[in-house]
């Protein structure tokens, strides 16, 4: 019974945070609060990537616009950072930071905030929720820490991201995939749909399907059809998977060399 008041306080704290960060305009409200803080210039070398999502790859395509703006000396919004030892960790503006590193810029404008880990994660989650082109793995990493370190239930995470509880569960399951599959998803070589279809397989089978996706550029529907009812056909003494869908027949090759040889022979 002694722990009951403490537990109630924790529940109230969690409820308040969920209520705040589940609002669709939370990032706008945070931006208003940030404008009341001074902007300062920091050397880029003093700013580090965000530890919670540093595994997420930022492609050159995603940061190209920011690189161009920096090169043209167009003023961009300051980053939002927090002190991290003798460095500063980026919270908002990760793409801008990555772009700046590709230019000759030595300093960058920042706003320093005193966010703790939980607040930082909730801001990252709101940003990932609202930003176009967010890699689903980013949500998975944030979900995982909020769930294991801060006691957030799958329902709470669903409320924060306007998703169903089952969607949250499926996103978290991505972290159980083989490292090679996670890497392919991170590099956007496969989609969430591809990855989700591979979750239930062992290492050997999931890597086999991953290679078939890459070699044949399989859509999610084609992959699901291949998994559900694999059909084979023999060509030149070898068996190949064949996917038959509406008005379409797909031959699934095992290697790029096989696909190229078939193409050169039959489609000159």
**pLDDT (tens digit, 9 = 90+) per residue, 238-267?**
555 556 555 555 656 666 665 555 454 444
Predicted pLDDT of residue 86:
96
Residues 194, 182: contact at Cβ < 8 Å?
no
Mean per-residue pLDDT over the chain, rounded: 85
Rounded to whole angstroms, the Cα distance separating 167 from 225 reads 22
Residue 111, token pair as written in the block:
């706003």
Work out whether strand 107-112 and strand 79-84 pair parallel, antiparallel, or are unpaired.
parallel
> Is residue 163 in a domain?
no
Angle at 193 between CA 190 and CA 198, to 5 degrees: 80
pLDDT at 212: 87
The SS3 assignment for 48 reads strand
Domain membership of residue 204 (yes or no) is yes
- Asked if residue 215 is part of any domain, the answer here is yes
Highest mean pLDDT among 26-30, 231-235, 243-247: 26-30
Residue length of the chain: 268
Q: Is position 66 within any domain? A: yes
For residue 96, being part of any structural domain is answered with: yes
Domain span including residue 65 = 38-112
pLDDT of residue 65 exceeding 50: yes
Band the pLDDT of 62: cuts 50, 70, 90: confident
Boundary-marking domain end, from 56, 90, 112: 112
Residue 144, pLDDT > 70, answer yes
Answer with the one of 86, 112, 138 that is the final residue of a domain: 112
- Whether 108 and 181 map to the same domain: the answer is no
Rounded mean pLDDT of 117-145? Answer: 95
Residue 126 lies in a domain: no
Instruction: Classify residue 149: in a domain, yes or no.
Output: no
CA atoms within 13 A on the CB side of 122: 25
d(CA 245, CA 222): 8
Residue recorded with tokens 């980026």: 90
CATH label of the domain that carries residue 88: 3.90.1530.10
Q: DSSP letters of 233-250?
A: EEETTEEEEEEEETTEEE
Give the chain's domain count: 2
Distances (CA, A) of 261 to 54, 160, 210, 234: 40, 50, 21, 15
Domain shared by 262 and 184, yes or no? yes
Q: What is the pTM of this model?
A: 0.82
- The model's confidence at residue 187, banded by pLDDT at 50, 70 and 90, is very high
Which position has the higher pLDDT, 151 or 8?
A: 151
Judge if 181 and 259 occupy the same domain.
yes
Report residue 188 as tokens.
């956007």
For 119-132, the pLDDT digits (tens) are 999 999 999 999 88
Position 32 in a domain: no
Pick from 87, 112, 137: which residue ends a domain? 112
When pLDDT is cut at 50, 70 and 90, the band that residue 2 belongs to is: very low
Together in a domain, 182 and 105: no
């Amino acid at each position: 019974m002694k722990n009951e008041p403490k537990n109630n306080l924790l529940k109230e704290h969690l409820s308040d945070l969920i209520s705040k960060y589940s609002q669709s305009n939370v990032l706008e409200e945070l931006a208003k609060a940030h404008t009341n803080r001074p902007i300062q210039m920091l050397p880029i070398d003093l700013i580090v990537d965000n530890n919670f999502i540093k595994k997420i790859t930022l492609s050159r395509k995603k940061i190209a616009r920011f690189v161009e703006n920096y090169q043209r000396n167009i003023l961009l919004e300051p980053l939002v950072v927090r002190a991290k030892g003798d460095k500063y960790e980026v919270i908002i503006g990760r793409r801008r930071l990555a772009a700046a590193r590709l230019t000759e810029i030595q300093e960058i404008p920042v706003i320093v905030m005193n966010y703790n880990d939980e607040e930082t994660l909730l801001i990252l989650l709101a940003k990932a929720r609202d930003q176009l082109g967010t890699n689903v793995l980013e949500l998975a990493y944030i979900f995982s820490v909020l769930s294991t370190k801060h006691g957030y239930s799958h329902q709470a995470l669903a409320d924060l991201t306007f998703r169903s509880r089952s969607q949250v569960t499926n996103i978290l399951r991505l972290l159980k995939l083989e490292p090679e599959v996670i890497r392919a998803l991170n590099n956007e070589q496969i989609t969430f749909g591809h990855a989700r279809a591979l979750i239930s397989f062992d290492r050997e089978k999931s890597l086999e399907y991953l290679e078939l996706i890459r070699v044949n550029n399989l859509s999610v529907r084609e992959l699901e059809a291949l998994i559900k009812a694999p059909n084979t056909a023999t060509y030149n003494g070898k068996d190949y998977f064949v996917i038959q869908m509406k008005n379409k027949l797909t031959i699934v090759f095992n290697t790029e060399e096989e696909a190229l040889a078939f193409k050169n022979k039959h489609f000159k």
